[in-house]
C-alpha cells in the first residue's frame, strides 16, 4: 500500500497500521497481539497524584516484532504523553507488551530466547532485524 493510500485512510485505520519492510499492511493490530496502551492515567512520578494528570499529546513508537515469512517486522504504537497539572512533569508510559527501554516487543524477546537453543545467534539477529549484541544481551551472555 502506498503512503498516499494511508493518508486517505481514516485516523482509526491509520492508528492500527503495521510497518513492514514491504510497505504498509492495514491488518488490524489486535489480530497479531500488538502492543496496547494502558487506558488509565498514570500517577505522577514526582508528586504521586493521578488526579492532576492530563493528556499532553501522542507519540508514535516503532517496535520490532516477530519476523513474518522470515523477514523483520515493525509495529507502530501510538502512546499518550501525560503531564501533571500540579508539578508540570511530563511522562510517557511504556506500552503494554513491550520491554522498558527496548524497541522490541516482549513476544519477540521470548521468541529469540526460545530459538537460541538450537539456532545461531547471527541467524536469529538477521531474521529479526536486530543486532547480534541485542540477542546476546537477552540471553544474558553479552
DSSP at 105: B
Domain ranges of the chain: 3-139
CA separation for the pair 46, 44 (Å, rounded): 5
At 103, is the pLDDT very low, low, confident or very high (cuts 50, 70, 90)? confident
At 105, is the pLDDT very low, low, confident or very high (cuts 50, 70, 90)? very high
Residue 6 has pLDDT above 80, yes or no: no
Residue 38's CB is within 10 A of a number of other CB atoms, namely 12
pTM of the shown model: 0.64
At 19, is the pLDDT very low, low, confident or very high (cuts 50, 70, 90)? very low
| pLDDT, mean of residues 63-82 | 91
H or E stretch covering 122: helix 121-128
At CA 77, angle to CA 31 and CA 81, rounded to 5?
Answer: 140
At 92, is the pLDDT very low, low, confident or very high (cuts 50, 70, 90)? confident
CA separation for the pair 33, 23 (Å, rounded): 20
Q: Are 18 and 27 within 8 A, CB to CB? A: yes
Bridge partners of 121?
none
What is the pLDDT, as a whole number, of residue 37? Answer: 53
Bridge partners of 83?
54, 90
Buried b / exposed e along 81-96 (16+ C-beta atoms within 10 A): ebbbeeeeeebeeebe
DSSP at 30: G
Amino acid at each position: 500500500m502506498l503512503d498516499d493510500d494511508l493518508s486517505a485512510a481514516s485516523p482509526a485505520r491509520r492508528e492500527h497500521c503495521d510497518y513492514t519492510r514491504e510497505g504498509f499492511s492495514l491488518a488490524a493490530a489486535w489480530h497479531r497481539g500488538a502492543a496496547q496502551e494502558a487506558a488509565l492515567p498514570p500517577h505522577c512520578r514526582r508528586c504521586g497524584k493521578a488526579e492532576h494528570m492530563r493528556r499532553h499529546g501522542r507519540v508514535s513508537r516503532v517496535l520490532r516484532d516477530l519476523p513474518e515469512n522470515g523477514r523483520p517486522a515493525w509495529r507502530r504504537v501510538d502512546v499518550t504523553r501525560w503531564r501533571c497539572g500540579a508539578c508540570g512533569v511530563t511522562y510517557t508510559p511504556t506500552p503494554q507488551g513491550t520491554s522498558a527501554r527496548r524497541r522490541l516487543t516482549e513476544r519477540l524477546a521470548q521468541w529469540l530466547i526460545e530459538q537460541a537453543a538450537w539456532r545461531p545467534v547471527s541467524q536469529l539477529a538477521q531474521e529479526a532485524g536486530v543486532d547480534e549484541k541485542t540477542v546476546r544481551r537477552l540471553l544474558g551472555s553479552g
